[in-house]
Amino acid sequence: MLKVEPVAASRSEQAALTRRTRLVGNAPDYPGRVVMAREQWRLLKPSKWLKTLRGKLADSCSGLERCMYCEDSRADEIEHRRPKKLYPDDAFSWANWLYACGECNGVHVKGDRFAVIIQNRCVEVSRSDGGPVAPPQAGLDALLDLRGEDPMDFIWLNLESGYFTPDCDDRQSERYLRAEWTITHLCLNSRSRLIRARRNAYVMFSTLLRDYVEQRSAVTDAQVAQRKRTEISRVLKEASHRTVWEEMKRQRAMHQELQALFAAAPETLDW
Ligand SMILES: [Zn+2]
């Protein structure tokens, strides 16, 4: 997962969101706000402001509109980082919106589950159907906020195995707990397809980087070589699992060949 680059809603888009937030806030109590948020969401009709916001989220995805969580499937659903069922006041908060695939946004992965960190413990605040409708316990959100935080500050990818781990040794720390919850909650290590895809991406990115460096020093037609380099750059930027590429850059000092390749073509560090 990568941090989502900041993107602002326009004044009219923000006004449309604020209108609905106000409607939710006008409900007399918390259960009323939960119902109102659900209703307002259900009543949302395709409109220009919603379409442009969807477009902004899609443009913020890595690769070719890849899901902000798994980076594997196409993102096509607005996902509330803080579930609207638990945090109705954030249902129409632009900063709370991400773009995810149906699988990640669905009940078998993220769904409406959520947790907060209280006194160095991860406390699940999810609400079962039919349970009392009360506000969740207050605490630090366990799930990382891709709109405001860089997951690479919390999570490390083992390039060879394809598994994510918390980038922290202190198992009691907020940093560790949040990283662990995020990895587990989003099933980033329990979907074997994703692990294989990350390993494949490592092979593919390494091969492309090697090709690029070879093209760079090849004694051939300059225009042809330039065209090939541009093509490799485009394929790399549009590929799925861009976190693998970012980790290759970050971890290059630990891998002799990567170190040599990036040193031979330092411009690729900006890709
Ligand atoms: Zn996904």
Q: What is the mean pLDDT of the chain?
A: 95
What digits encode the pLDDT tens for the residues 55-99? 999 999 999 999 999 999 999 999 999 999 999 999 999 999 999
Q: Taking residues 246-259, what's their average pLDDT?
A: 97
Q: What percentage of the chain reaches a pLDDT higher than 90?
A: 86
> Could you tell me the distance, in angstroms and rounded to a whole number, from the CA of residue 92 to the centre of ligand 1?
21
> Could you tell me the distance, in angstroms and rounded to a whole number, from the CA of residue 22 to the centre of ligand 1?
31
What digits encode the pLDDT tens for the residues 204-217? 999 999 999 988 87
Write out the DSSP string of the chain: --PPPP-PPPHHHHHHHHHHHHHHHTSSSHHHHHHHHHHHHHH----HHHHHHHHHHHHHSSTTTB-TTTSSSBP-EEEESS-TTT-GGGTT-GGGEEEE-HHHHSTTTTTT--EEEETTEEEE----TTS---PPPP-EESS--TTTS-GGGTEEE-TTT--EEES-S-TTSHHHHHHHHHHHHTTTTT-HHHHHHHHHHHHHHHHHHHHHHHHHH--S-HHHHHHHHHHHHHHHHH-S-HHHHHHHHHTGGGSHHHHHHHHH-GGGGG-
Q: What percentage of the chain reaches a pLDDT higher than 70?
A: 99
> Could you tell me the distance, in angstroms and rounded to a whole number, from the CA of residue 124 to the centre of ligand 1?
22
Please state whether the predicted TM-score (pTM) of the whole model is above 0.85.
yes
The pLDDT of residue 110 is: 82
In the chain, where are the structural domains located? Answer: 11-185, 193-270
218 or 265, greater pLDDT: 265
> Could you tell me the distance, in angstroms and rounded to a whole number, from the CA of residue 1 to the centre of ligand 1?
10
Asked whether the predicted pLDDT for residue 219 surpasses 70, the reply is no
